[in-house]
Structure 1
Amino acid sequence: MTFLLGLAVLLILLWAVKGLARADPKGVVKGARMAGGVVALGGAAFLVARGQISIGVPLGLTGLGLLGWLPFGGATFGQRTQKRSGQVSRVRSAFLEMELDHDSGAMRGRIVAGRFAGAPLDGLDVSTLTGLFGEVDEESRTLLGAYLDRRSPGWRENAQGGATAGQGGASGSGKMTEQEAYQILGLEPGATAEDIGRAHRLLMKKLHPDQGGTTYLAARVNEAKEVLLRGHR
């Protein structure tokens, strides 16, 4: 019996290798996964037949996963738990567009209207930026204040006049749409409730006051979460 199982595993392995040799290069990875799944199942059957169930069962589950016959579709544990990189949150007002990098927490932006339209905020000095408070709407002032809080924490003490006061509690301009909510959380349409919760938790950590966050940005992130979760209730 053991000999027959070993022979079966060998034949399956040879069949898989032959199939890979004829495969399109783009399908090599997929073919390798299938071959690995078949071999793993054969090895599992061999081990179980010898009474080594504690090793055979996990190997069999691995084979089923590689073949896509388990709910997680063959993804490895690392792939299932690894956080996606490169995600960016975007918030836009009438005069500004801001981005928050999920990985580094870096905030950047650019001016989209007015005399400095197209200019990156990082390319303008603080005094020039504070001079814009009298030219933009309330939401843009709040967004600009949030950027300056992170770039130059002491800017408010040096700013003159009342135009820059009270930036933290301003509300957004109108009802947030789902598209805006997805951009704020850095997600694609169709994200699951788990994805939404994960992005929300990550952003709230980045927006903590110790990290240069503001109540305005935190409020926008909270609102985005609520908007998107309505569709999952």
Structure 2
Amino acid sequence: MFYLLIGIVLLVAVLTLARNFVHANPAALARQLRTFAGVFMIALAGFFAVTGRFAFALPAFGLGVMLLRQHVFPGLSGGYKPQKSSGQRSRVRTAMVEMELDHDSGAMTGTVLAGGFQGRGLDDLNDQELETFWRESGQDEQSQKLVEAYLDRRLAGWREHFQTDGTERQGSSPSAGPMTDEEAYQILGLTPEAGDAEIRAAHRRLMMRVHPDQGGSGFLAAKINEAKDTLLRRH
């Protein structure tokens, strides 16, 4: 009976592969081969078990499960793997500008919310316009800090070109009030369903991008730390 079962499994596998071989892409074909090989090894393990050859049954069963678990039984792979969607982005918003940071590339983009360039993206502003907006943002210290974080990435030596007065405000800027949960989730690029492990993982990932020791922004690093602390206190 088991010989017949194995023969049927092989026949179905061969017919299915023959039918899909011409049009299947290589990745899909490889997944199918893995699945069929896993099913065959488990069936073979059953045959060995029924015939009393347990020394062969256990290795065959283990190999079959190993072949299947990646695509059929992904939960058997074990270990904690935080979900991280491709293109995950963090968002920081102040009175005059909203900035986004891509978690994968570290690229920073921004949109002007108030002032003479309202509605325009920072990437669309030329150097002279950026200088003008940077000076406008001086009316709100947090906004200016955020603009400076963008300038540090886009224009090397911008402080000299923009003829600053030499007084660099490296300390933490005054907060507009306690950070809300919504703001904290946006800064870390997470949803309210995120647990403590995901919050800590997002914090570590972002700090590698923006920490001042890595040439990043002290203002953004402070915001990311505040977001982590805010959410962990709630949890």
TM over 0.5: yes
Partner of 2:212: 209
What is the CA–CA distance in structure 2 between the aligned matches of 1:224 and 1:43, rounded to whole Å? 54
Please state if 1:228 is matched with 2:231.
Answer: yes
- Unmatched 5+ residue regions in structure 1? 22-31
What is the CA–CA distance in structure 2 between the aligned matches of 1:213 and 1:191, rounded to whole Å? 26
What is the CA–CA distance in structure 2 between the aligned matches of 1:226 and 1:82, rounded to whole Å? 21
Compare 106-115 and 37-46 and name the one that shifted more.
37-46
Partner of 2:96: 95
Change (3 A) 1:163 1:46: farther
One-letter identity of the residue aligned with 2:121? P
One-letter identity of the residue aligned with 1:51? A
What is the CA–CA distance in structure 1 between the aligned matches of 2:124 and 2:234, rounded to whole Å? 40
Please state if 1:55 is matched with 2:56.
Answer: no
Partner of 2:113: 112
The structural deviation recorded for 1:200 is 1.5
What is the CA–CA distance in structure 2 between the aligned matches of 1:81 and 1:46, rounded to whole Å? 39
Partner of 1:159: 162
Offset from partner CA, 1:132-178 (integer Å, 9 cap, x none): 34433111011011111111231223333559741552144222222
The structural deviation recorded for 1:105 is 1.0
Partner of 1:28: none
One-letter identity of the residue aligned with 2:117? F
Aligned 1:1-233 pairs, distance under 5 A: 4-11=1-8, 39=40, 41-46=42-47, 49-52=53-56, 55-62=59-66, 65=69, 68=73, 72-73=74-75, 84-136=85-137, 137-160=140-163, 162=165, 165-166=168-169, 169-209=172-212, 211-232=214-235
- Unmatched 5+ residue regions in structure 2? 20-31
The structure 1 segments of at least 4 consecutive aligned residues displaced by more than 6 Å after TM superposition are: 13-18, 32-37
Is the 1:171–1:216 contact (alpha carbons within 8 Å) kept by the matching residues of 2?
no
Q: TM-score, normalised by structure 1?
A: 0.72
Offset from partner CA, 1:208-232 (integer Å, 9 cap, x none): 3364311111111112222223344
Is the 1:204–1:221 contact (alpha carbons within 8 Å) kept by the matching residues of 2?
yes
One-letter identity of the residue aligned with 1:103? D
Change (3 A) 1:229 1:125: same
Cα-Cα RMSD: 3.8
Q: TM-score, normalised by structure 2?
A: 0.71
Change (3 A) 1:101 1:152: same
* Percentage identity across paired residues of the two chains: 47
Offset from partner CA, 1:165-208 (integer Å, 9 cap, x none): 41552144222222222221122231232322222111111113
